[in-house]
Amino acid sequence: MPKLELQAVRKSFGDLQVLRGVDLTVAEGELVCLIGSSGSGKSTLLRTVNLLTPIDDGAILLDGTDISLPDQDPRPIREQIGIVFQSYNLFPHMTALDNVLLAPRRVHREPDSSLLPRARELFVRFGLGDHMHHWPDQLSGGQQQRVAIVRALAMNPGIMLFDEITSALDPELVGEVLGVLAQLKRDGMTMLIATHELSFAAEVADKVCFLHAGVILEEGRPREIFENPKEVRTRSFLERVR
C-alpha cells in the first residue's frame, strides 16, 4: 500500500480548473519530486493533501484511508503530514525553539521535560544547535527554513510535503536547505517535493512527476524524465527551465 495516493483529484477556483484529475502515488520512504511551470498547480496540489484546500472530486488516501472526505476533523490528519512553505512562515513573535514546541505542546500536551530533549536533538541534527533561542528575524533565510522543517518534523509526521522551499533563498543558502532534504531521505522519510531545483531532483528523487494542464502528464525515474522525456510538453518545459 502506498503511503500517499491521489486518485483523479480535481480542484477549480471559480472557472479556473487547476487540477483536472491528478493521479499520483508516493510509496513509503520514497522521495517524489513534482515539477511544472509556475501556476501549473503544484502548490494547490500540496495544499489539498494537507487539507488546507478542499478538493472538488477524487480521493486522497493516506495509508489507504481517504482523508479527503468532508466532515472529518482535519487536525489528526494534518498532524501526520508535515508541510514546509516557500516563505518559511515562522511565527515572528516566538523564538526558534518556541516555534518548534508550540504544536507538540498544544496538540500532544506533553510536558516540556519530555519534548525538549527531542527538540534539541532535531536542532542539533540540522546544524541549528546554536540558534534555538534566536528570534526568526535574527536568522538567515536558510536557517529560518531549516527551523520551519524542524518545526514540521517535531510533530513526527509520516510524510513531509515541501513547496518550493528554496525559491525565496539567496543562491548561496540553497545548498544547506537541500542538504537537509538529502539527510531526511537517508533517514527514510517519505517526501513529496515541489521544486525548481532540477539538478537536485535528478540527484535524489526516486520519481519525478511533471504537472501540466491539471494532470500528471509524465512521470518516471529522474533519468528517464530528464534525459529522455516522451512528451513534447515535458521536453519544452525542461528546455525552458534549463
Partner 1 sequence: MSENGAGKQLSRLEYERKARRRSLIIAGLSTTAVVGALVVLVPLAPGWPAVKNSFFNWEIFVRTSPTLLRTFLLDVAIFAWCAPLIAIWALVIAVFRDTRSPALFPFRLFAIIYTDIFRGVPVILVVYLVGFGIPGLGLPRPWNSPYLWGSVALILTYAAYVAEIYRSGIESIHVSQRNAALSLGLSQSDVMRYVVLPQALRRVLPANMNMLIALQKDVALLSFIGPVEIFRQAGVFKSLLANFTPYVVAAVIFLAVTVPATRFADTLISRQNRRRS
Ligand X SMILES: Nc1ncnc2c1ncn2[C@@H]1O[C@H](COP(=O)(O)OP(=O)(O)O)[C@@H](O)[C@H]1O
Minimum distance from CB of 85 to partner 1 (Å)? 7
Nearer to ligand X, 39 or 54 (CB): 39
Other C-beta atoms closer than 10 Å to the C-beta of 170 total: 10
Contacting ligand X within 30-89 (CB under 6 A):
36, 38-44
Nearer to ligand X, 44 or 144 (CB): 44
Residue tagged 480548473 (cell numbers): 17
Q: Rounded CA gap, 84 and 200, in Å?
A: 17
- By CB under 6 A, tell whether 18 contacts ligand X: yes
Type and span of the H or E element at 151: helix 141-153
- By CB under 6 A, tell whether 222 contacts ligand X: no
Nearest alpha-carbon partner for 48 in 194, 168, 157, 189: 194
Give the one entry of ligand X, partner 1, Mg ion, none that residue 39 binds, where binding means its C-beta sits below a cut-off of 5 to 8 angstroms depending on kind: ligand X
Instruction: Show Cβ contacts of residue 180 under 8 Å, excluding neighbours closer than 6 positions.
Output: 126, 146, 149
- By CB under 8 A, tell whether 129 contacts partner 1: no
Nearer to partner 1, 26 or 154 (CB): 154
Minimum distance from CB of 68 to ligand X (Å)? 17
Q: Rounded CA gap, 242 and 235, in Å?
A: 11
Which three three-digit cell numbers place residue 54?
478542499
Q: Which amino acid belongs to residue 164?
A: E
Other C-beta atoms closer than 10 Å to the C-beta of 92 total: 11
- By CB under 8 A, tell whether 92 contacts partner 1: yes
- By CB under 8 A, tell whether 85 contacts partner 1: yes
Give the one entry of ligand X, partner 1, Mg ion, none that residue 79 binds, where binding means its C-beta sits below a cut-off of 5 to 8 angstroms depending on kind: partner 1
- By CB under 8 A, tell whether 241 contacts partner 1: no
- By CB under 6 A, tell whether 91 contacts ligand X: no
DSSP assignment string, 91-145 = -TTS-HHHHHHHHIIIII---HHHHHHHHHHHHHHTT-GGGTT--GGGS-HHHHH
Nearer to partner 1, 126 or 237 (CB): 126
Nearer to Mg ion, 35 or 147 (CB): 35
* Binding interface with ligand X (CB under 6 A): 13, 16, 18, 36, 38-44
* Binding interface with partner 1 (CB under 8 A): 50, 52, 74-76, 78-79, 81-83, 85, 87, 89-93, 102-103, 106-107, 148, 151-152, 155
